[in-house]
């Protein structure tokens, strides 16, 4: 289990992946691009579970730019990322791209996926993919990708073709494909 006190918002899982915790990324986003209107509605200021503000700006079409501030000792550190908002039937997903250092700008995009459930009172509930479920799917040949296991962690990199990931993820299997406990709840401030 990660014991690092890192970014307190969506970057948590991305940074955990870099710090050695289990991770799951995909080279293809899940779902089809959401409408610009639906994406624009997400712009504003959101509070994380730790009451940290997260600033969300609609860039274009289904793209959001998200920024927040972490504190490294007494110095503020700007954290930012790109989010592709997608849908599949009535479900919404955030496909989160971590910031890439310039020397890695030619590397293919790798997304971390969150299932987004709007809730009453201007809240969003985010759930991550279940790493073990997707690791087994890769190992069984149901999904393209690689699985790297060691005694403490599992790292899954999905490399799905076309609609392979969309076809695999099913609302009927949400309980096994997404982690339902421990969701991240964001509350809109503005």
Confidence (pLDDT) at 102: 62
Tokens found for residue 55: 């600033």
Question: C-alpha distances in angstroms, 49 versus 21, 42, 72, 183?
Answer: 21, 17, 19, 10
Rounded to an integer, the average pLDDT of 150-170 is 94
Start-to-end CA span in the chain (Å): 34
Q: What confidence tens digit (pLDDT) does each residue in 2-57 have?
A: 323 333 445 554 444 444 588 999 999 999 999 999 899 999 999 998 888 999 99
- H or E, element range at 92: strand 91-97
pLDDT classification of 126: cutoffs 50, 70, 90: very high
Domain boundaries along the sequence of the chain: 11-188
Sheet holding 23-26, edge to edge: 23-26, 154-158, 145-149
- 33, with CB counted inside 10 A (0-12, 13-18, 19+), is middle
Confidence (pLDDT) at 47: 94
**Is 80 in contact with 56 (CB distance < 8 Å)?**
no
**Is 96 in contact with 24 (CB distance < 8 Å)?**
no
Best CA proximity match to 90, nearest among 176, 164, 31 = 31
């Amino acid at each position: 289990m990660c014991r690092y006190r890192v970014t307190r918002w969506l970057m948590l899982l991305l940074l955990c992946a870099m710090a050695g915790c289990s991770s799951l990324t995909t080279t293809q986003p899940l779902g089809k691009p959401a409408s610009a209107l639906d994406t624009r509605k997400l712009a504003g200021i959101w509070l994380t579970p730790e009451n940290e503000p997260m600033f969300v700006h609609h860039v274009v079409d289904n793209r959001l730019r998200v920024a927040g501030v972490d504190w490294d000792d007494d110095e503020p550190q700007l954290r930012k990322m790109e989010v592709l908002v997608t849908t599949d039937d009535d479900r919404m997903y955030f496909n989160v791209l971590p910031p890439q250092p310039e020397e890695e700008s030619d590397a293919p995009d790798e997304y971390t996926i969150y299932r987004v459930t709007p809730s009453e009172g201007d809240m969003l509930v985010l759930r991550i993919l279940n790493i073990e479920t997707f690791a087994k799917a890769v190992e069984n040949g149901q999904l393209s990708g690689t699985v790297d296991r060691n005694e403490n962690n599992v790292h899954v990199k999905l490399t799905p073709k076309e609609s392979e990931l969309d076809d695999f993820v099913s609302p009927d299997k949400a309980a096994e494909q997404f982690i339902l406990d421990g969701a991240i709840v964001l509350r809109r401030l503005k």
